[in-house]
Structure 1
Amino acid sequence: MMEIFQKLFYTDLGTAVNNTALLIFRILFAWELLTVHGLKKIKQSQEAEAEQIPNPLHLPEKLNAAVAQFADTIVPFFIALGLCGRLAILPTLGVTAVGYFVVHRHDSPQVRDIPFMYTLCLLFLLMTGPGAYSIDHFIYQLLINIR
């Protein structure tokens, strides 16, 4: 069990330059996700007319809205902090992948571009982890010392 946690939390990319670049990437990506998509959902939920969130998987409406709001408002904080990085991005990765492969599958490349780029960025973070300048890295160090 300890080995699974270590694999989830191992995040060091080897050099300070790589880890700094990943930190900057994480923070800018999280900021963009929160300000462009998340804040719009928060503002819309406070107004009388809510944003129409696509539901191509035909989930219950409240569940669909909750997943989309969580993915765009809460997950960016996890990404920026590097907290449970690989696990935390899964809801947002699901939302963007569904947006690309299902909602916009018949749209032009210009329309499909945004969910495609978000999906690529999230896959990149899933594979690399958040880097050495993250809470996950400190958790990994603790797990190594416990072992």
Structure 2
Amino acid sequence: MDDIIKQLLYSDLGSAQANWAMLAFRILLAIELFRVHGMKKFRGNDGKPEVVPNPLGLPQNLNNLIATISDTIVPVLVILGVFTRLAVLPTIGITAVGYFIVHKNDPIEAKDVPYMYTICFLLLVATGPGSISLDQYLFNHFFNF
């Protein structure tokens, strides 16, 4: 159990410069996701909420809930760096489905956005949020073994 907690929370990238760079990366990535995609969940281009594609055939309310969480709540968690490795999983799912299914037959220009988001969030899964995060604070103060 201790190893799982360490894998989820510990995330020192080795140097102050790398940790500050990851903080900047997290903030900029999360703001862009919320600004461009999260705001559409509340009001689309015509003032109505965005209609979320449902290529997996999930119940529409569940599909909308996952998309809304991944574009509105996940960015806040990413900025704070709280449970980052787990928090980004819904967003990776949404963006990967966008790339592999929704935009499967579209030109590469249409696939670019979900591809880049998927890669960026996979980086956060691999590295964690860095030491300037609530994950690191939680690890150091509650689980440091």
- Smaller-chain TM-score range? over 0.9
RMSD: 1.0
Deviation at 1:35, TM superposition (A): 0.4
Match of 1:17 in 2: 17
Q: How does 1:1-147 map to 2 (within 5 A)?
A: 1-44=1-44, 49-142=48-141, 143-144=143-144, 147=145
Deviation at 1:50, TM superposition (A): 3.3
Q: Distance in 2 between matches of 1:42 and 1:68?
A: 12
Q: Percent identity?
A: 49
TM-score (norm 2): 0.95
SS in 1 for 2:6: helix
The aligned amino acid for 2:90 is: P
TM-score (norm 1): 0.93
Instruction: Check the 8 A contact 2:43/2:50 in 1, yes or no.
Output: no
Deviation at 1:139, TM superposition (A): 1.1
Aligned residues: 142
1:49-75 C-alpha deviation (Å, 9 max, x unpaired)? 432211000000000001000100000
Unpaired runs of 5+ in structure 2?
A: none
Instruction: Check the 8 A contact 2:42/2:49 in 1, yes or no.
Output: no
Unpaired runs of 5+ in structure 1?
A: none
Q: Distance in 2 between matches of 1:105 and 1:138?
A: 41
1:59-109 C-alpha deviation (Å, 9 max, x unpaired)? 000000010001000000000000000000000010000000111111100
Deviation at 1:127, TM superposition (A): 0.3
Runs of 4+ in 1 over 4 A off after TM superposition: none
